[in-house]
Structure 1
């Protein structure tokens, strides 16, 4: 900087990303070229998420970056990659050091996409500070580079078959999931799962055929709004995942589902969060939900929250939508906030487990 020149002011931005409630379907599938791809379909969940605040200090040296909390290294890596991307799009920008701060209420290690939520919020915050809004495909590419595999939280709320290690959509299954009410719970006492310690499953031709069959059934469930079929797909996917996860409560969970009239169960394939899926059109729904909660408590499986896949049910404590704008918020709106611990109308908080 020349003598007498005014210092370049710091630039700040915010970003927000919600989490999910584990997977409806996860396995190995064929892409359009017939190549095997690991992919998943997540169950959206709003009301929990990560807020990122980024401050860019042009006077600081390049690479002078920090994050709070300091253990969120994936988010910091993503923020640095986003900064490089923004610099390529606006070469005239004087981008120097980066200060990143993360806050939110997504439980860690339960398979709810906490690291993806951190990463995507961080990318959005940096882009906001640079006066940019990066395309979702760019955010996905950065997220995969930062954490090796990413959940599709940067995309809209439609049911997507997403190749998490490649950051690309294999198929848009439809406009919205069938209507469902989900009673959430946590297996293993809600203890975090070390996903890096899980064995890598070896998939054969029979596995590919089985997952492709479930993919076709899920596509039909979405097209026809068939909640019963949604529950079947989710249960079968969860059952196949037990070869790796081996949840001790899995059989008890399915028995509770059968006794209380749930159409199926849903389990995070890399964590301990789970849910029992109910058809909102079922007779005596409220009574079924109460029986389900009592049965889970009797089995010593902690109940967490009840939510829906639509915005119209009166039993919902959180809801998913089909709009990226409403799910994640505009990156540059400072009013975006993750839900606070005193948010009313919630039966339980996962973060308290």
Structure 2
């Protein structure tokens, strides 16, 4: 019988009870007595919506009358977690994604775990449903949440509800220590600010990343703190909103460099946008670093392949990924305080795009 068919008329209460005096009822008995398939009974047990209400009520009634209860061990075996770890990301920078994957695989090497990646769009109406379906469909052991998915406070409760372990990677601490890897982006922003101010720049421009990325705000915070140390402030007239893309860096730089009081230095919140700044400078015939200093953030391969070679903040994405998967597979007790490994902190790499102002 299919779900759309009418359930068989129930047997009398006495006959149902008598049949199971000497043995325990099984899921097959429930299916037989209700006239539905074993699969339909299983759907009711697992609270699937794909069963008609009158059929559901009849199955539940029979289960109660004959004293049937699902075997928790059997259910645990059927829904066992796999040796799969998911990486969920919404990041416009492909090099970040590749570096993070490499780091996660470094931490998983020799453990028997494998990596499954899941790109998503936080702006999508189905974002949360898609995340949940991905975890449940793959029966994931756990997931690594990268920025900016990691910053979405709606995601962790869903993972807790379905019993999926997780690690959040973010620029600041957003959860209990056992669920966090912090990248401390404000330290990188401060390093960029100290470098430019130390060279003598006072008109320093800033191109932010996506507003939805906490990292952009933290990199700006670090820059501002470093400027305050030198008695300077970040002029709002020298701030432009980018999107962590080459194109946005180019457009923002064209705007900043053609303002009446243009900056003598620009700190772009990632290398892609810094590359756009260099292109804008060429378009306007502004020489780097003679007439304009440029600092990026990330230190991906792009930084060394640009000309001039880009001064940038190194963020150890691969090391952060390694730490994240290691922590997921081998959880650190909450009472233990993790030492901050210098290898996982941002640091400035000085190359050819910065110099004192003319």
Per residue, is there more strand in 1 or in 2? Answer: 1
Q: Same fold (TM over 0.5)?
A: no
Asked which structure has the greater CA Rg, the reply is 2
TM-score (norm 1): 0.26
Q: Which has the higher contact order (CA 8 A, sep 6+)?
A: 1
Per residue, is there more helix in 1 or in 2? Answer: 2
